[in-house]
Amino acid sequence: MEPFKIHILGCGSALPTLRHNPSAQVVEIREKQFLVDCGEGTQLQMRRSKIGFNRLCAVFISHIHGDHCFGLIGMLSSFGLLGRTMPLAIYAPKELKPVLDMLLETFCNDFDYEIQFHAVDTKKRAVIYEDRSLTVESIPLKHREPCAGFLFREKPTLPHIRRDMIDFYHIPVSQINNIKNGASWTDEDGNVIPSNRLTRPADPPRSYAYCSDTCYLPELHKQLEGTTCIYHETTYATEDAEKATKYCHSTAAQAAQVARDAHAGRLLLGHYSSKYDNEQVLLEEARAVFPASELTREGMVVELK
């Protein structure tokens, strides 16, 4: 099975603390790396996690609150200083573009790589990125600024070849792809061996949903049905539900409701308010609703299977 990992670089909220960095993650799928949000200090966190700058092929920014994008211009500058030549795609709400253009013109106007900006419509679900192995969809969220989540989804793969059967029937290597695509094989005695005897079922496609800052959305689970793993902001505990409503955030219990109703495989908690010296209260609250809940922490690597 090919790697599908989430590197947690920051899981705090707006006010930086000595315990947590602002929001940032790297999603690694089949040797491709995608940065999701870029709070202050993200490039330092990438170095600590030994994530190579040159392997990053796209950046996804959920919204333009500073704890989700203050680290972007510094990272782009470092890419230029390191001699990057490969284009970098940035997917973000359209409101970021004039700010980014001004910063690039001021600080990053002589670099050798192209920045390709793609405006994300935060009001509709759409495929915004696609390659041979995966798609990334935007997920409408509700916050104080236009905001979108992102759903990374593997494309189905072909069945696995059974090497013992290939050797037994002396099937040439040139026919392996045909067999994976459903072709049968006729042996020298005229016996037809169907493809399903020569292969094992393909690995089920995995998926990861990043739900950034948002108030609780009772219908959100419908867009995340069956997701392998969901990251959902859990800024507050239920005792601070009024604050969550006021600032368009979610409680840990509400995040767990989304994961439970979506029949997700697991839930990652993050975007903790700085008021909590210990996030255990958030974990306990979430697990009471959805047992497969986990706290994120800086340096954590989550592997999807």
Active site amino acids: 67
Q: Is 65 annotated as a binding residue?
A: yes
- Per the CB < 8 A criterion, the answer to whether 26 and 210 are in contact is no
> How many other CB atoms are there within 10 angstroms of residue 158's CB atom?
13
CA 173 to chain centre: 36
Q: Is 143 annotated as a binding residue?
A: yes
Name the 3-class secondary structure at 197. helix
DSSP result, 167-228: HHTT--GGGHHHHHTT--EE-TTS-EE-HHHHEEPPPPPPEEEEE-S----TTHHHHTTT-S
Annotated binding residue 261: no
Pair 224, 230: CB distance under 8 Å: yes
Q: Is 213 annotated among the ligand-binding residues?
A: yes
Lookup: tokens for 238:
């239920």
221 is in an annotated binding site: no
Six-digit token pair at 92?
């973000």
- Give CA–CA dist 132/160, Å, rounded: 18
Residue 176: CA count within 13 A, CB half-sphere: 14
Q: Is 67 annotated as a binding residue?
A: yes
Give 79's contacts (C-beta < 8 A, 6+ positions apart).
53, 88, 111, 113
- Which two three-digit tokens encode residue 162? 């059974």
Nearest by Cα to 28 from 64, 1, 2: 2
Torsion of CA 259, 153, 159, 292, to 10 degrees: -20
**CB contact at 8 A, 208 and 304:** yes
Contact 212, 147 (CB under 8 A): yes
Kindly report each contact of residues 186-190 with a partner whose C-beta sits within 8 Å and lies 24 or more positions away, as own/partner.
Answer: none
What residues form the annotated binding site for Zn(2+)? 63, 65, 67-68, 143, 213, 271
Please give the annotated binding residues, written as ranges.
63, 65, 67-68, 143, 213, 271
